[in-house]
Chain A
Amino acid sequence: MEQTVEFAPASGVLSGIWLLVAIPLASAAILLLLGKRADKWGHWLGVLAVAATFVLGLIFFLDLRGLDAEARSAQVSLWDFIAVGNLHVDFGLLFDPLAGVFVLLITGVGSLIHLYAVGYMEHDPGRRKFFGYFNLFVAAMLLLVLGNNYVMLYFGWEGVGLASYLLISFWYTRPSAATAGKKAFLMNRVGDAGLAIGIFVMFATLGTTQYDEVFGNVSALSSTTVLILGLLLLLGAAGKSGQFPLHAWLPDAMEGPTPVSALIHAATMVTAGVYLIARSNAIFTANTVLQTVVVSVGALTLLMGCIIGAAKDDIKRVLAWSTVSQIGYMFLGVGLGGGAYALAIIHLLAHGFFKANMFLGAGSVMHGMHDQVDIRRFGGLRKYMKWTWLTFMMGWLAIIGIPPLSGYFSKEPIIAAAFERGDWTSWLYGMAALLGAGLTAFYMTRLFVLTFHGPERYTEDNQHPHESPFIMTVPLMLLALGSIGAGWLMSTSVPDWLEPVFGAEEGHHEAVLSHTLITILSLVVTVLGAGLAWAMFRRGTALAPQPAGVVVTAARRNLYTDAINEAVFERPGIYLTRALVFLDNKGIDGLVNGIAAGIGGTSGRLRRLQTGFVRSYALSMLTGAVLVVGAFLAIQLGWLA
C-alpha cells in the first residue's frame, strides 16, 4: 500500500506548541535548582505549570479541530538538532490528532494527579523535589508524543524513563524502593536498546528518522527489513509498557508514591509503547507477521496480567497487574490494525481515566489506613470513606465493562475486533480477549469487595479509617466522572478524529460471531466473573494467604516469570561478569601493566644517558651525524635502497 504522509507547517497559534514542553521543563528546573528556597510554594508552581499546559493544550486542540480534516497537523522545526554527514535530525515537534489526544490525556489527568499529590505528599519533606521530578516527567512525556521524528521520541522516551526511575526510588532509603527503581531501569534498558537499534536501522535503510519521510518510504523496504525494524520497535514498546517478556518491572514499580503509580505507571508513561506502535502504524501494517506478533504479545500479556492479578493481595499490585493486562488489550488492538488502532487509543484514554481514578482511590485508602496495602486486612471501608468508595466503584464498574460506563465502550469493541481478524486466529485471540474480560471482572470485584465491603479485618492498633481531605477527593470525583462518561464520548468522536493518522477504516473481515452475540457473551462472562467473586469474598477472607492449588500458587509467584528471568538472564549474567572481571584483571590488565612497566623501565634507563655532560652530548650528536651521513651515503651507493 502506497502511503503518502505530509505534515503541514504550523501557523498561527499552533506555532507555539513548543511551550507545551517548555513550561513544565522550566518549572522542573526552577523546583530542582532553587532547592530549599522553593519549599513553601514549589508544589503549587508544579500544579500550576501542568494546569497551564493543559489549558494551552486545549487551545491548540480546539485550533486543530478548526482546520480541515486533511490539514489537521502542525509541524514546527525548532533547530537542526544533529547534523553529521548525511544524518540530519530536526529538533522538531508535530501536533496532529494523535498527539493532540495524548497531550490532553497527559496534561488533563496529570493536572488532577498533581493536585491530588499536593495533599498526598503534604507531610513528606521531599515534596518540592517530588514535584520537580513530576514536572520533569510531564515535560519528557509531552516531548515523547510531540516529537516529529524518532530521535525526538527517543529523547522523551529516555526522559520519562529517567523520571520514572527517580520517582520509583523516590523513597530511596527503603531498600525495596531502591531495588524496584533499579529493576525498572534495567528492564527498560533492554527495551530501549531495541528502540535505539530500530532507529539505527531506520537511518541505515531509509537515511532519515522524520516520521513523514519514514512512513512515506516504508513500502520501499524489503519485508524482512520491515519485520526486523518492527520487532525492534516492539521490543522498545514492550519494555516501556510492561508487556511480556519485559513486564516484571511494572508491578515492582508500585514502590513509588501512589500519585506516581497513577500518572506514570497507569495512565501515561506505560502507554508510550501503544503510542509508539500506533504512531508507527505504517510500519506495522506493512507486515502481517509483525502484526501477528504484536497481537500475540497483547493476548498473552492480558491473560497473564489477569491471572496474576487475581492472586495478589497488595492493593496497588493488583492494580498494577491489571494495568499490565489492560495494556495487553491495547496491544491486541494496535496489533489487529485497521480500525482497531482507534479502538486501542480509545481504550488507552478511557483506561487513563479509570485506572488513575482507582490508583488515587487506593492511595486514599492507604492514606486512611496507615499505609496498609494488604486487601485481606481491609473490609467495610465504605462506611468510613464514602467518596473514595463511590468513586472507586465507578472505576471498578468501568474497568469490568458494565454499560454505560467507559470501559464497556472501549473494551467490548476490541473483543469484537479480535473476533473479526479473519481466519482461525479470530477464535484464538477472540476467546483470549473474552476470557480476559471474565477474569478482569473476577479480580477487580475481589479487590473491590475485600476493600470496601464485608467484615472489618483491621489488624493494626489505633486504626481509625477516615476520609481523605478535599484536595484528594475532588480529583477523585472528577476522574470518576471521566470514568463514567469518557468512553461513550470518545467512542463516538475519536475514530473520525484519528482518521488522518490511521487512514480510513477498511472493510471488515467476516466476523466469526455476530456482533450482538459477542456483546451478549462479553456481558455474560463479566457478570459471571463479578458474581463469582462477590459470592466468594463477600464474607471476607483469611488474614494470610492459604495453601492453594497449582494455578493459584503459580499466579502468586507471578507465573514464575521472575524465576525464569533470574535463571536465564541474571545468574548467567553474574557469572559472565565475574569471568570478564577475572579476564580483565589477569589478562588485559596484566598485558597493559606489563607494557607500561616495560616502557617505564626503558624510560628510566634512557634517562641515564642524559648525563648533563656536554662531552657526552656532543658525542651523541656526532654519533647521530655519522649515522645520518652514513645513511644518506648508503642510500646513494645503493646499499639500502
Chain B
Amino acid sequence: MEDLKLPGIDYGALLPMLILFGAACVGILVEVFTPRRSRNVIQLSLALLAVVASFVAVIFQHDTRTITIGGAVAIDGPTLFLQGSLLALGLVSLLLIGERQIERGGPFVSQAAITVGSQKDLRQAGDQPGATEVYPLTVFSLGGMLLFVAANDLLTMFIALEVLSLPLYLMCALARRRRLLSQEAALKYFLLGSYASAFFLFGVALIYGFAGGIALSQVHEAVANPERSQVLLYGGLALIAIGLLFKAALAPFHVWTPDVYQGAPTPVTALMAACTKVAAFGALLRILYVAFDGVRWDFQPVLGTIAVLTMLVGAVLAITQTDMKRLLAYSSIANAGYVLVGVLALNEEGLSSTMFYLVAYGFSVLAAFGIVTLVRDADGEATHLARWAGLGRKSPLVAGAFTFILLAFAGIPLTSGFTAKFAVFGAAVEGGQTWLVVFGVITSMLLAFPYLRVVVLLWLSEPSETTPTVSIPGFLTSAALVIGVVATIALGVVPAPLIDLTRDAAQFVR
C-alpha cells in the first residue's frame, strides 16, 4: 500500500480564515455557557476581536503569494486585498448588527412564533438582548467569504459558497419586526440559493469531465487543448457562471434580491449588499481570470449582454420603486452590472478597478442601510418612500448624510461613486469593451433619477405629520455611519492610495 502523502499546509497563509472559523466555533460555545445577560457584550466583543485579528493577520501576510493545502487555496494579491476589504466591510456590518440602542431588544429575535407586540414579545424584548446567535453566524459567513475569494479549486469554492450562504439564509429570517416578510425572504433566498448552488455543482461536474480535474490551473491547461469536448467546457462554464451570477445578483438571476433585501433585517441586508457582493465577484474574477481566460473571446459577449441587461433592469426598475430598501436593492443590482463591466475588461486595470469599485460601493451602501435603520416610527423602520418626505427639515444631519450617499451612488465627482465608475469604465474602454461603457453611462443617467427623486423628497417636500422621527443612533451605528461617509468622501477626494494598493494587488497566482 502506498503511503498517503499529506499536502503541505501553510498555516500562516490560512490564519485569517482560521481565526474567523475558530472564533465562530467559540461563539457557539459562548452561546451555550454564558448567562443570557452578558451574552451580547461577549459575543459582540468576540466577533469584533476576531475580525480585527483576522484583518491584522491579512496585513501581516500582505506579500505572501502562495498556493497551499494541495492547491485548494491560493493566497495572492487579489485574495489578500479582497479578504482585507471583506473584513473591513464586515467590521462595519458588525457594528450595525451589534446596535441595541435604537430598538429595545435589538433587531433580531430567534423565537419566531411569538407575535409582535404581544406581552410575550415585550417581555422577551425586555429580558434579552435579541438573538445573539447572529454574531457567530456572521463570523461563519465572513469566514466562508474569505475562503470563497481564495478558493483555487472548484470544490473548495463550492464548499465556501455554502459556508457563506447558509448562515445568511438563517440571518435573513431573524427580523423582530415584519416577521412574516422576513421568514418569507429567508425561505425564498434559501430555495433559490439552493437552486443556484445546484447549477454551480452541475457545472463543476461538467468541468471535471472536461478537464479531468477541479483545480483552476488544471482547467486553465485543459482550456488550451482543443482536443477536449467543447460542449462540456462551455456547458460547465455557463453553469458555474450562473451560480456565481446568482450570488452577485446579476440579471436575470437577480429576482430574489429585492424581496430578500426588503425582508431581511436591515443590518443583514447591509452585510449582504456589501460583503456578499465582494465575495461573489472575487470568485467570479478568479474563475474568469485564472481558469477560463483562454476562452475570453467566447464568454465576453455573453457576460457583456448580462451586464447590460443587469444595468438596464436595475436602473429602469429603480425608477418606480416606492420602498427605500427595494430602491437600494435595485440600485445594488445596477451596481453589480457596473462591477461586471470592470470584470469584463479582462486586463490588469479591470481587476484593480473592480476591486476598487467593490470597496467604494461597499462602504457607501453600508452607510445607506445604516441610515435606513434610523428612520423609524412606532412600527419599526419606516421604509416607504412617502414617509421620508420632508426629512431634511426634521433631521438635517441624517438627511444630509443620506443625500451625500445618494449623490455618491449617482456618481457625482468628489465622491467615491465617481472615481469607482470612472475606474471601471476606463478599464473597460482600455479592454475594448466600449459598448458596455455606453450602456453604463446611459443607465447611470437613468439611475440619477430615482436618487434625485429621493433627494427632492427629503429636502423640498413639506414634512407631514406622519414623517417618522430619526432615532438617535447609538455609538455603534454612529461609528458605522461615520466610517461609511468618511470612506465615501475620502475615496472620492484622495483615491490614489487605494488605487495604488489595488494595482499592486492585481496579479493572480495560478
Contacts and interface: CB of A to CB of B under 8 A. Distances in A.
Interface of A: 596, 599-600, 602-604, 606-607, 610, 612, 614, 617-618, 620-621, 623-625, 627-629, 631-633, 635-636, 640-641
Given A599-B319, A606-B313, A632-B234, A614 B239 contact: no
Contacts of B199: 625
B317 A603 contact: yes
Nearest to A627: B252
B478 to A, nearest CB: 33
Nearest to B449: A596
A635 B231 CA distance: 10
Interface in B163-222: 187-188, 191-192, 195-196, 199
B402 to A, nearest CB: 23
Contacts of B238: 625, 628-629, 631-633
Interface in B94-148: none
Contact of A618 (B192, B316, B320, B449): B192
A574 to B, nearest CB: 32
12 contacts: A600-B319, A610-B255, A614-B188, A618-B192, A618-B195, A623-B252, A632-B234, A632-B299, A632-B302, A633-B235, A636-B298, A640-B301
Contact of B234 (A623, A625, A636): A636
Contacts of B258: 610
A629 B259 contact: no
Interface string B229-256: 0110111011101100010000111011
Contacts of A603: 316-320
B446 interface: yes
Nearest to A629: B238
A281 to B, nearest CB: 41
A209 to B, nearest CB: 25
Nearest to A631: B302
Given A606-B316, A629-B239, A624 B231 contact: no
Contact of B252 (A624, A632, A635): A624
Question: Would you call the interface of chain A mostly helix, strand, loop, or mixed?
Answer: helix
A618 B191 CA distance: 9
Counting chain A CB atoms within 10 Å of each CB, which of B187, B230, B302, B449 scores highest?
B302
A607 B317 contact: yes
B259 A635 contact: no
Given A612-B259, A617-B188, A628-B306, A604 B252 contact: no
A614 B186 CA distance: 11
A614 B233 CA distance: 30
B191 to A, nearest CB: 5
A126 B498 CA distance: 53
A633 B238 CA distance: 9
A603 B312 CA distance: 10
Contacts of B233: 636
B302 A628 contact: yes
Most interface-central of B252, B305, B317 (chain A CB within 10 A): B252
B192 A617 contact: yes
Interface size class of B (residues with CB under 8 A): 35 or more
A479 B301 CA distance: 82
A606 B235 contact: no
Contacts of A641: 298
Interface of B: 187-188, 191-192, 195-196, 199, 230-231, 233-235, 237-239, 241-242, 246, 251-253, 255-256, 258-259, 298-299, 301-302, 305-306, 313, 316-320, 446, 449
Given A620-B255, A621-B255, A633-B238, 8 more contacts: A606-B317, A617-B188, A624-B252, A625-B242, A631-B238, A632-B298, A632-B299, A636-B233
A633 B302 CA distance: 11
Contact of B230 (A600, A602, A621, A636): A636
A614 B239 CA distance: 20
Contacts of B298: 632, 635-636, 641
B237 A624 contact: no
Nearest to B239: A629
Contact of B192 (A600, A610, A614, A623): A614
A624 B313 contact: no
Nearest to A618: B195
Contacts of A628: 238, 241-242, 302, 306
Contacts of A620: 252, 255
A629 B256 contact: no
A632 B235 contact: yes
Nearest to A604: B320
Nearest to B255: A617
A633 B199 CA distance: 16
B452 to A, nearest CB: 13
B193 to A, nearest CB: 11
Most chain B CB inside 10 Å of its own CB: which residue of A612, A621, A633: A621
Contacts of A618: 191-192, 195
B253 A624 contact: yes
Contacts of A610: 255, 258-259, 317
Nearest to B246: A621
Contacts of B299: 632
B242 A624 contact: yes
A625 B242 CA distance: 7
A565 B258 CA distance: 62
B319 A635 contact: no
B302 A635 contact: yes
A161 B305 CA distance: 55
A549 to B, nearest CB: 62
Contacts of A600: 319-320
A605 to B, nearest CB: 9
Nearest to A628: B238
Nearest to A595: B446
A610 to B, nearest CB: 6
Nearest to B298: A635
Contacts of B188: 614, 617
Contacts of A631: 238, 302, 305
A621 B192 contact: yes
A487 to B, nearest CB: 56
A621 B235 contact: no
A621 B195 contact: yes
Contacts of B241: 628
A222 to B, nearest CB: 38
A300 to B, nearest CB: 48
A208 B191 CA distance: 66
Contacts of A633: 231, 234-235, 238
Contacts of A599: 316, 319, 446
A98 B196 CA distance: 80
Contacts of A625: 199, 238-239, 242
Contacts of B192: 614, 617-618, 621
Contacts of A596: 449
Contacts of B235: 629, 632-633
A621 B319 contact: no
B246 to A, nearest CB: 7
A612 B319 CA distance: 19
A215 to B, nearest CB: 37
A599 B315 CA distance: 10
Contacts of A621: 192, 195-196, 242, 246, 252-253, 255
A349 B302 CA distance: 77
A606 B301 CA distance: 24
A596 B191 CA distance: 36
Nearest to B309: A624
A182 to B, nearest CB: 29
A572 to B, nearest CB: 35
B234 A635 contact: yes
